[in-house]
Every structure is written in structure tokens, then in C-alpha cells.
Amino acid sequence: MRKLFLIIPIIFLWSCATISVNYEKGENELLNKNYEKAVFYFEKALREKPKNPLYRVALMRAKYEGSLYHLQRARILRSEGKKEEAIEEYKKAIKFDPTNLGLVRELESYMKEESKKEVPKKLTQPLQLIVKEDKIKLKFQNTSLRSIFQSVGKFFEINVLFDPQYQDSILSIELEDMTAEQALSTLCSVSKNFWTVVNPKTVVIVPDNIVKRRQYEIQGIKTFYLKYADAEQVRQILSTVGRTPRIAVDKASNSITVRGTFADLETFENLISKIDKPGGEVVLDVEIMEVNRSKLLQYGIDLSPYAVSSKINPSKMKDGYISWPDLKSLPSEDIFLSVPTPLINFLHSDSSTRIIAQPRLRGVDSKKINFNIGEKIPVPITTFTPIAAGGIAQQPVTSFEYKDVGIGLEITPRIHSKDEVSLELKLTVTSLSGYGYANLPILGNRQIENFIRLKAGETTLLAGLLREDERKSLKGIAGLKNIPIIGDLFSADERTISQTDIILTITPHIIKSLPIDAKDLEPFWTGTEEGGMMPGMIPAEREIIEKPGIEAIEEAPSSENVLSVVPSSIFSPTNADVALEVFLSTSTQISNLSFQIRFDPSILKVKDVNPGGSIVSGTKPPSFLKDINNSSGIITIGITSSEPMKGIPSGTIINFTLQTLKEGSSEIQIEGIGATDSKGRPVQFSSSSSFIKIGRD
């Protein structure tokens, strides 16, 4: 007994010595998230015992958790715009996991983005108005609306045309500290008109209705290539929010193509920039444990070893043997018999817990993560079919369906603000309970569904999937144990209870959040339900082009483009009609053209203005707009090609008639020329005038 007490402490001390002190220190540092020190102690323990798998796994776990921790810190600092701190955290993450090429590339990409940030190109108007940068300050009292528009145009040095269906009215209004676009939008909103740009120096005022908007508003087509969002989901959003969207989806390139006006395209571009963002990512530390509580309970009289044995006096034996003559002469006192010894048993045993799996799962926000442990077993399924066509289904046909047996885990994470994660999870435990009729497998099933919300790094525990199996057995002396009443004296009962419980622990870690900044939370205004922007709602970057000639406007290739008044000189008596024309000479495909013809209103008066032969001769004549102001001596002309790729053809584009009022002379000159080609680029023009002299016959 004394020796036993000495051996037990020695065994205990030997078992303690099997765990390194450095390993224990590393575990403590890992719990406190001191990853550098944890790696240091684990490496030290591994150097002591290089073949110990426990130390090797602990070192790998510490490096991974350390790399993940610093990566999370880097991405948070990156979203906050702290460049230097973010780069330092990236370097620490790479130090823990230098073989992770994804980390290295992410750092390189971030440093390139910071060194050369490209400002995304904003959507620009196909035709932009060029005006002077001054703001108008005018007050009108009971004035014709047409005159007000013309005054605004004169102030900003642009041409103002009117649709043939435009209706004039009387208006009193004060325009103070307004840009050209704001002034035009204000006047149109109160008169139920809208304005559109014909070319950089000309606008046209049109009655606001669906037909006219379709006639005048330029539509464009733009393709948006989505990086993160699903094209079909974005199409549904745009179809719900947009007024009249025409959208096509290309699943192969994950892109959507939209057709609409400039306002529509701008709205879609702003909306897509808020939708097309990378989803958040989480890492889930999952631990699945099985508690096997196998209880063994023995009670009753145990006649062990349930047998009668004999023994001979060793002094009568030689070398462990006895001869047959000696055995026959052996006296009875040298023969011993052993009978079963009755023992009363009260034995109870209990087992412990084992870890089934410790997966580390990485997933995307709102996407399911599936994890399965186990195997598949075949389950026969019998169906009946008719032997002949049209007969009774009586011929059995057996097929096999494979069922999952084991543990299945399904988790859907959702990332929220303030570093919170909600988990929609479903845990299923399926086991083979036995075999039933015709040796068919019996499957046991335990399932739990739950929805929880946790802080990042917080651990939750789920348990309660219990299963209990009970077995009873009776052992004793054959024949005697089955005798009623007294059979209990020669037998013992054994009862085994096998109880299992599945325990699940989950710890979520956020490694990438949805990148939402302050601009994403701000609304953007799209105008009224009927369409168009209200006064004062014009975005700053679209208000005006400050100076004519800025580099933002790409000009068309220079060529000789001339507008001429023909004939160049005229002599006419008073009270006579003089016919003139404007001749276009160009080698460029002109899609929009506007200009003014100026004359002396004291001696001349315009009687009529009509489109010229080169315009009316085509199958699809261009749109022709005119405005005659005899009091100011100005004719304003606007021409838009119906086929932009062909342009306005060279030749006579205008025929107009002047009436001579009194003697004198006047120059008939062309000014304020604005033109664009088929690509919307400004086109430079020169002009030649005509001289008219009025005298007596």
C-alpha cells in the first residue's frame, strides 16, 4: 500500500510535465488577444517538442487569428480614410500570414488607389449651353412672356427660339441672382413650358406635354457594368423607381443597358452607385461537441464467475502434473471445490464529452453557409408500375435514395451597424437508429432552428438536442436464473442508458462591412412626377459652362464652314420686296444649327421666312424653327437634322423676304452662330454679309 501512494504522485507529476509551460503561456496570451506574444510562446514550445501536433496546431491558430484581427483593423481604418494607420495594420496582418497572396494584393491595390485616385467621370449633357458667368437681376411687370425669354437670352448672349405651338401670356416676375438655367427653368415652370438646348448658343421653348417631350428631349443609351450587385435585382429596383425605364439585362457580363433621357440616365447612375457595393463578409468560429453520457447501472446478486471449479493440493503434484493412479488414490481432503460467490452490485459509470468538429467558415452577408459532417446511406424506395401498358400498377420497382446521416449546419449571416451580426441558423442531427421491417433503416432526427443577434466576437451556445437509448440485460446461472422468485438469487440485471446531446458554439467575426459613406445616406432629387427639374434644383456641376472655349468641350475637326447671305449686294427702291437666301457650305455632318440675321429695322421689315430647297428636298426634312422680331431687327433660326448621321445638307437653307420702308442703307449680317456635329461637338463657322441700298426709282 505504501508503494501505491508513492506511484500515484509520480504519475501525476509526469502527466503535468507533458504540457509545456510555454504552451500554457501562449494559451493565456491568445485568450487576451496578445497575438504577438502568443505566437512567441507557441514557437518556443514547438522548438522544445517539434513533433507535437498540439503545439503545431496552436501556432497555426494564433497566426491565423492574429492575421484576421489586424486585417479587420486595416479595413476599418481604410474606411475612415486613415491611410498610414491602415497600411501599418495591413503589414502586421501579412507578418502573421506571409503566404496569403490575397492580403499582399489587397495592400498593393490600396496603395495604388491612394497614390492615384481617379475621379469617376460624371454623366454630361449631350448638348451643353455656353453662357456668360454673370447672374441676372431683372424685374418685369405685366410683360409678354416671349419678351421676357428674349430679354434673358439677350442678357446671357444666347438665342431663344419658340415652338410653333407656343402660346404667349402676360407675366409679372422678378429674376434675381439667377443663372441662365435657373432663370429659364423658373419661367418655364410658371408657364407650363420646358426648354431644351439646340446647340451651345441656342435654346427652344416648348409647351410641356408628353408628345412634345418625346419630340424634343434627346434620349441616350448607357451600359452599366456591375461589380457586385446582381443585374436582375438592379433591374427590378430601377423599374420600380424610374418613370419610364427601358432596361435590358446581360447576365453573362452582369450588366444592364438603359435607354432614357439625360435626367433618367443621371438618376439611374446615381442610384446604381449606391446599390453596386461589395457585400460584407464574416468569419464564423464554430465548435460542435457531442456529450455522450453512457450510464451503466448494475444491481442484484452477482454469482461470479457463475461456475464450479476444482483444485488439487499442490503438494500431491509433481511439476504441476499428477498421474492417473495417484489421482484415483488421492484422499478427499486433498481435493477442493469452488462454488459461485454471491456479490451484491451497485455499479454506476458515466462518460465525458468529445469534440466532433471545429470548422472556421467564411461567408458573404445574407448568403447561406452550409456545413455537413457524416455520410450517406442508401434507403430503398419501392414504386409499382403496370406490367403492360394500361394495366394495373402491380410490378414493384425498387430504387435507392441516399440520405445524409450526421450533422448538418445551415447559417445565413446578416451584418448590421455597430459591429453586430444576426445569424439565422438551422442545426440538424440525423442518425441511424436501427433497422425495421424488411431490414429497412430507421433514421432518427433532431433539429433546432433559431435566430440570434450578436456582437462581433461574442460567443453563443445552443444545446438541447437530446437522444436517449436504454438497454437491459440479465445474466446468471443457466437454468437457475429463470426460476421464478428464487431465480433472482442466481442472477444480476444490467441496465445501460446511452444519452447524447449536441452542443453548438458560434463566434462571428466581421472582416468586411458594407462600405456606406455620408454621400450614400443623402437623397438626390429627380424633379417632379411629371418630369423636369424645379427651379433651384439644378446640380452645381450642371449649371453652366462658365466660359466659351474651355477645354471640357471637345471641338469637331476644323474645316471650312461658311454661312453666306446671297446676293452680297442689292439696290432696291422704297416700298419694294427684296428676296434673299442663306447658303450653307460645309463638309461636316451638322446635326444642329442656329444663328441670327440682323438688319436695320428703321428701313427694313421682314415679310416672310421659309426653309430653303436643300432642307425641304430630303425624305426626312430637318426640324425648322424661326422667330421674327421686326422691332429689334433680328431673325432667329434653329435647324435640327432628323438624321444626325447624315447631317444638314449644304445648299440654300433659308429663303426670306424683306420689305424696304424708306431710303437708306443697311448691312444684313449673320451672327451668333451655334452648331454641333453628329457627335455633339461644337463646330466653328464663319459668315459673309450682304449690303442693301434703298433709293428712289
Per-residue pLDDT reduced to its tens digit, 242-271 = 665 688 888 888 898 988 888 788 888 888
The set of cell numbers assigned to 267 is 438618376
Residue with more model confidence, 621 or 552: 621
Burial of 341 (0-12, 13-18, 19+ CB in 10 A): exposed
| 560 three-class SS | coil
- In this predicted structure, the answer to whether residue 400 has a pLDDT above a threshold of 70 is yes
pLDDT band at 340 (very low <50, low <70, confident <90, very high): low
Question: Is 188 found in the same domain as 109?
Answer: no
- In this predicted structure, the answer to whether residue 306 has a pLDDT above a threshold of 60 is no
CA neighbor of 686 nearest in space, from 666, 670, 667, 697: 670
Instruction: Evaluate whether residue 155 is within a structural domain.
Output: yes
Question: Is 210 found in the same domain as 71?
Answer: no
- In this predicted structure, the answer to whether residue 299 has a pLDDT above a threshold of 50 is no
Q: To which H or E segment does residue 184 belong?
A: helix 180-191
User: Domain residues for 326?
Assistant: 306-332
Question: Is 596 found in the same domain as 638?
Answer: yes
pLDDT value at position 260?
A: 82
Question: Is 361 found in the same domain as 254?
Answer: no
Please tell me the least confidently modeled range out of 61-65, 620-624, 690-694: 620-624
Question: Is 107 found in the same domain as 29?
Answer: yes
Instruction: Evaluate whether residue 526 is within a structural domain.
Output: no
pLDDT value at position 657?
A: 92
Per-residue pLDDT reduced to its tens digit, 46-103 = 878 877 777 878 888 888 888 888 888 888 888 877 888 888 888 888 888 876 777 7
d(CA 397, CA 210): 67
Q: Are 395 and 384 in contact (CB under 8 A)?
A: yes
Question: Is 507 found in the same domain as 368?
Answer: yes
Instruction: Evaluate whether residue 527 is within a structural domain.
Output: no
In 10 A of CB 399, how many CB atoms?
10
Instruction: Evaluate whether residue 579 is within a structural domain.
Output: yes
Question: Is 406 found in the same domain as 472?
Answer: yes
- Give φ, ψ of 302 to 5 degrees: -105, 105
Give the CATH number, domain containing residue 581: 2.60.40.680
In 10 A of CB 503, how many CB atoms?
17
CA neighbor of 179 nearest in space, from 550, 551, 539: 539
In 10 A of CB 87, how many CB atoms?
16
pLDDT value at position 327?
A: 63
Question: Is 441 found in the same domain as 313?
Answer: no
pLDDT value at position 419?
A: 80
pLDDT band at 656 (very low <50, low <70, confident <90, very high): very high
d(CA 627, CA 163): 9
Give the CATH number, domain containing residue 179: 3.55.50.30
Give the CATH number, domain containing residue 264: 3.30.1370.120
β pairing state of 136-144 and 170-178: antiparallel
Give the CATH number, domain containing residue 79: 1.25.40
Percent of the chain's residues with pLDDT above 90: 3
pLDDT value at position 28?
A: 86
Question: Is 507 found in the same domain as 413?
Answer: yes
- In this predicted structure, the answer to whether residue 534 has a pLDDT above a threshold of 50 is no
- In this predicted structure, the answer to whether residue 545 has a pLDDT above a threshold of 50 is no
Per-residue pLDDT reduced to its tens digit, 262-295 = 878 888 888 888 888 877 888 888 888 777 655 4
Question: Is 234 found in the same domain as 207?
Answer: no
CA neighbor of 127 nearest in space, from 193, 181, 176: 181
Q: How many domains does the chain have?
A: 6
pLDDT value at position 10?
A: 43
- In this predicted structure, the answer to whether residue 241 has a pLDDT above a threshold of 80 is no
Question: Is 674 found in the same domain as 573?
Answer: yes
Question: Is 248 found in the same domain as 192?
Answer: no
- In this predicted structure, the answer to whether residue 307 has a pLDDT above a threshold of 80 is no
Instruction: Evaluate whether residue 244 is within a structural domain.
Output: yes
Instruction: Evaluate whether residue 480 is within a structural domain.
Output: yes
- In this predicted structure, the answer to whether residue 542 has a pLDDT above a threshold of 50 is no
Mean pLDDT over 193-203 rounds to 87
d(CA 200, CA 212): 21
Region of 177 (left: φ > 0; alpha: ψ -120 to 50; beta: rest) is left
d(CA 102, CA 512): 14
pLDDT value at position 441?
A: 78
Burial of 513 (0-12, 13-18, 19+ CB in 10 A): buried
Instruction: Evaluate whether residue 532 is within a structural domain.
Output: no
Q: Is the bond preceding 413 in cis, omega lying within 30 degrees of 0?
A: no
- In this predicted structure, the answer to whether residue 45 has a pLDDT above a threshold of 50 is yes
d(CA 527, CA 535): 9
Per-residue pLDDT reduced to its tens digit, 426-452 = 888 887 777 777 777 777 777 888 888
Per-residue pLDDT reduced to its tens digit, 485-507 = 666 666 666 666 666 777 788 88
Region of 488 (left: φ > 0; alpha: ψ -120 to 50; beta: rest) is alpha
Average pLDDT over the chain, rounded to whole?
76
Instruction: Evaluate whether residue 584 is within a structural domain.
Output: yes
Query: What is the b/e burial string over 31-57, where b = at least 16 CB atoms within 10 angstroms of the residue's CB?
Result: eeebbeebbbbbebbbeeeeebeebee
Q: Are 565 and 599 in contact (CB under 8 A)?
A: no
